[in-house]
Amino acid sequence: MTSDVPPARTVCHGCRQTTQFRTDAGDVRPMIIPGSGMVIREKSPGVLVEEQCPICGDSEDPGWIEGYIPPV
């Protein structure tokens, strides 16, 4: 028996972003946002460059990786 359920995936931890949201009850909780497949690094003091994410940047679906990995 085959399953048409897509494999589990999670956001890439190399280019992900985090923010916070407020629930209806007023609690503030973290929220992880998938990245774009790009990372920003400091090339030299004060010089930032945008580069391809070393984990997911060359994939067909940047910002995501296969398998479920609980957020850190």
Count of residues in the chain: 72
Tens-level pLDDT at each residue, the chain (72 residues): 566 777 788 889 899 988 999 999 999 999 988 899 999 999 999 999 999 999 999 988 899 998 877 665
pLDDT at 8: 80
**CB distance 34 to 12 below 8 Å:** yes
pLDDT at 9: 83
Best CA proximity match to 55, nearest among 68, 38, 32:
38
pLDDT at 32: 87
**CB distance 57 to 38 below 8 Å:** yes
